[in-house]
Amino acid sequence: MGLVRRATDGDAAEVLRLRQVMIDSLAGTPGATDWHAASLPTLTAELADPGGRFAAFVVDLPGRPGTLAALAAGTLEYRIGRAGNPHGLIGYVFSVATDPGARRRGYARACVEELLNWFRERGAGYVMLTASPDAEPLYASMGFTRDTDPSMRLLLGPA
């Protein structure tokens, strides 16, 4: 699908909008958006750095200039190497979202495929993501498998 392109800094507000679509779909209800203003400058800077370890791939909504139909974003992280991944590079997929009016057209799949290619080109040993129950069949069809995840989380609060 030739509709996919890498997001630029000019897409930052729309990337945040689609991220909110994803967050709202997981929560089941619309959530707060007051964090967008604080997030926008950082996101804009990340999207402006084509050599960085963050990338987002998008599809423009046909007939609506400046509006995105779909998004897949991810980061490339370094961990000390190990067997099976001696270079220690890991891809993380997150913020996969499709505008509600553009679903079931293959846009999210195409964006994720471009993101996976981006990870491959940079030498990632594997890719991780967290899948909602609705999205799990898509990721399974792309070869992702369920992990047993012993992860824990500590919220540090605002910086």
* Tokens read off for 74: 């991810």
29: left (phi over 0), alpha (psi -120 to 50) or beta: beta
Distance from C-alpha of 8 to C-alpha of 22, rounded to nearest angstrom: 20
Q: What is the pLDDT of residues 86-143, one digit of tens each?
A: 999 999 999 999 999 999 999 999 999 999 999 999 999 999 998 888 889 999 999 9
Nearest to 23 by CA among 120, 130, 125: 130
Distance from C-alpha of 95 to C-alpha of 21, rounded to nearest angstrom: 9
Query: Given this model, what pLDDT does residue 159 score?
Result: 63
Percent of the chain exceeding pLDDT 90 equals: 75
For 34, half-sphere exposure in the C-beta direction (CA atoms, 13 angstrom radius) is 1
Residues in the chain: 159
Q: What is the pLDDT of residues 145-159, one digit of tens each?
A: 988 777 777 778 776
- pTM score of the predicted model: 0.91
Q: What dihedral do alpha carbons 23, 26, 31, 36 form, nearest 10°?
A: -10
Structure-model confidence comparison of residues 158 and 37, the more confident one? 37
Query: Given this model, what pLDDT does residue 142 score?
Result: 93
Q: What dihedral do alpha carbons 132, 135, 137, 139 form, nearest 10°?
A: -100
Full set of structural domains in the chain with CATH: 4-34+42-141 (3.40.630.30)
CA angle 89, 93, 96 (to 5 degrees): 165
Q: What is the pLDDT of residues 38-94, one digit of tens each?
A: 999 999 999 999 999 999 999 999 988 899 999 999 999 999 999 989 999 999 999
Q: How far apart are the first and last CA of the chain?
A: 40
